[in-house]
A and B are shown apart, each in its own frame.
Chain A
Amino acid sequence: MELQPIKFYQTGTFTVGNRLLDADQRSVQANMERTNSLNSGHRACQGCGEALGARYAIDAAMRASNNQVIACNATGCLEVFSTPYPETSWQIPWIHSLFGNAAAVATGVMAAMKVKGRKDVRVIAQGGDGGTTDIGFGCLSGMFDRNDDVLYICYDNQAYMNTGVQRSSATPPAARTATTMALGPEPGAVFGQGKNVPLIAMAHGIPYVATASVAYLRDLEAKVSRAMTVRGARYIHILVPCPLGWGAAPHDTIKLARLAVETGLFPLFEAEHGEVTSSNKIRHRVPVEEYLKPQKRFAHLFGKTPAVDTLARIQEMADRNIRKFRLMDERRHG
């Protein structure tokens, strides 16, 4: 689906009511015919960004494929909260095998569909950041290498939430987790560690890579829809705040997902065959403190003597992203 820029002067905000859009441009979720692929009744915490992200992503994929989706899930919160058998929230064929093999299982499903002449069936692999950037990384890279016709979606809540909030390679510096305690001279996760899997995915030269945030659900749907028009290996990395692990209020999930983007800490972009093709511009740039402060995992930065040096280093990371991904509208901000 082509995106068409539309200007709305009447609202004064950047939100857009579906009513103002053409029917085919409206949110999948606004459609009565949406598939509810991840149905209500699951056991996610209140305000779970992962549940929200998965619901939007999979419904969009369903719409884009005429409801022919098979999903392969890694172990993690999404897997556990969605299938408290005898209940399951999945309205689509869904398999969970192991923590570290979702991408390979998806390759297998894809191969079976190919042999059976079912090119219409689209395969999605999905997992948390731990299942993607750490333990499932080998299988993920193998799937990218072979350019298998699989869309991999990583729901990044920046730690191993299902096992009680331990550090993963997607945990940001200074964040407190159960294994990066807020103790000692350098409390929280250390600087200089971690990996950027969207960039690593791009280095494989796969046809499509995108990042998304649950604060920008329309953008998320559009990226999933775009990914579904492409054949071969595709990767979407979605930032999904976790109230429990981040020590944040459930009603702040969307706000934090937005602030992560507006600070520049979580750049939103798309890439094709290893080249960045677009990035979402930041419209209200905010300092990183605004994003960090509402989260208890960063509380140690805001004690009696605020950790100015650490905050400056985090701000530097945001600034670097803004330059690197051209996140500011250059016309307005020079």
Chain B
Amino acid sequence: MLKQTEGSHAIAESVALCRPEVICAYPITPQTHIVEGLGEMVKAGELQNCEFINVESEFAALSVAIGASAAGARTYTATASQGLLFMAEAVYNAAGLGLPIVMTIGNRAIGAPINIWNDHTDSMSMRDAGWIQLYAETNQEAADLHIQAFRLAEELSMPVMVCVDGFILTHAYERLDIPTQEQVDAYLPPFEPRQVLDPSEPVSIGAMVGPEAFMEVRYLAHHKQMRALELIPQLSAEFRQVFGRDSGGLMRTYRAEDAKTIVVALGSVNGTIKDVIDELRDEGYAIGAATILSFRPFPSEELHELLSHAKRLVVIEKSLAVGIGGIVSHNLRMALSGISLHAYTVVAGLGGRPITKSSLRSLFERALRDELEPLTFLDLNQSAVDRELEREKARRRSGPSAENILRDLAGGAR
């Protein structure tokens, strides 16, 4: 059914249609509207056969999810930013135990300095925890990916994170197609756990594993993610059959067929990128884009194939690997083996800095002329940075830099 709704609410409705049995959550912006929406549905009796638990921390949220999932319940939670880091130990644990929990990440920066706005630092910090990571490009996709996520998680017995750009998607109102219960039921069968805590068939779960088997258990997680490389496109195709639209998959290209320059990015920024590409295409430039939807597992082969005919690669990323540059670009390196091209890493949009069409346009123009540095910080206010470096040089006790820069920008520099 088409309706004008908020991204978060659409996600909540999608999750509800998946018939979750246990939902636990701890509030953090910009995730709050999702779990509030679900809580309301449970409280009002619209979502039945579901326990909604308000916990005391994100660590507890995911721990409750671990217990519920191990006891055979379809389980959901959501978080962001500081919350994801607060539950870090349980994030690895849920994956290690092979529990098919689905968790939304309302992508947000990580402090200090504390910042509630969007970037990908939070989910990127957990990229190697053993969860499948899907990044939604639009709100329609965000809603749809959750339905696919439960299916994927349960088929593989592996947790899935659906990453949704905070505010840009979570808080945006737009016209979205909310599926019917019949459609979702047709797509998502009831949860049949691979392992379950059951008094009539007692098992021990979570024993100490030594050097004799640890490698194998870890390898198996990798193996399953390699299987997900096949499963994700299948589930997306099946989704198309049932719901009548394209959503999900490993990656998606845009005007990339004959493109000599390929722009790669994750999440909602692809909308702006496509607009700029349209302009440049109109002017005759052979430029196209690729959206990575599945960051874990990483679609190396597909990207290799795509980039094998390209001359230039521009990676736009909303996170920073401090001390080296870009996370996505480094993941892409493997896919570039045997391909020789100019690769540019662009760190953009940290802490919610808008990524505008005009900035992207001049960035791509410079890339097309091969005038870009290997690592660029889009729209970085270099002079503000230089002034802070000057202050640090001038005085040993120069004070906290974040506050110095804020004061400087407000015109009150000492």
Interface residues of A (CB under 8 A from B): 67-70, 72-73, 79-80, 83-85, 88, 90-98, 100-101, 104-116, 121, 138-139, 141-142, 145-146
Contact = CB atoms under 8 A, between A and B. Distances in A.
B202 A105 contact: no
Nearest to B69: A108
Contacts, number: 153
Q: Which 6 A-B pairs have the closest CB atoms?
A: A108-B67, A142-B56, A96-B206, A104-B63, A112-B71, A101-B63
A88 B203 CA distance: 9
B66 interface: yes
A83 B206 CA distance: 9
B102 interface: no
A108 B65 contact: yes
28 contacts: A68-B199, A72-B67, A84-B208, A90-B204, A92-B199, A93-B197, A93-B201, A93-B203, A96-B205, A97-B67, A97-B206, A98-B90, A101-B60, A101-B66, A101-B90, A104-B55, A108-B64, A108-B67, A111-B21, A111-B22, A111-B51, A112-B22, A112-B75, A115-B22, A115-B51, A116-B21, A139-B60, A142-B55
B63 A111 contact: no
Contacts of B64: 104-105, 107-108, 111
A93 B22 contact: no
Given A95-B206, A106-B67, A108-B22, A142 B199 contact: no
Nearest to A89: B204
A114 B51 contact: yes
B314 to A, nearest CB: 41
Most buried by B among A98, A111, A145: A111
Contacts of B24: 108, 111
A67 B59 CA distance: 31
Contacts of B73: 108, 111-112, 115-116
Nearest to A67: B199
Given A70-B199, A72-B67, A115-B22, A104 B60 contact: yes
Interface residues of B, number: 41
Contacts of B68: 108-109, 111-112
Contacts of A97: 63, 66-67, 90, 93, 97, 206
Contact of B59 (A107, A108, A113, A139): A139
Interface in B248-295: none
A116 B63 contact: no
A115 B21 CA distance: 7
A95 B70 contact: yes
B15 interface: no
Interface in B191-241: 197-199, 201-209
Most buried by B among A72, A93, A108, A110: A108
Contacts of A69: 199
Given A90-B202, A94-B202, A105-B67, A138 B54 contact: no
Contacts of B203: 93-94
B60 A142 contact: yes
B208 A83 contact: yes
Contacts of A138: 56-57, 59-60
B67 A83 contact: no
Contacts of A70: 71, 197, 199
Contact of A83 (B56, B97, B199, B207): B207
A313 B208 CA distance: 42
Given A96-B205, A109-B197, 8 more contacts: A70-B71, A83-B208, A84-B207, A92-B199, A97-B206, A104-B64, A107-B64, A112-B22
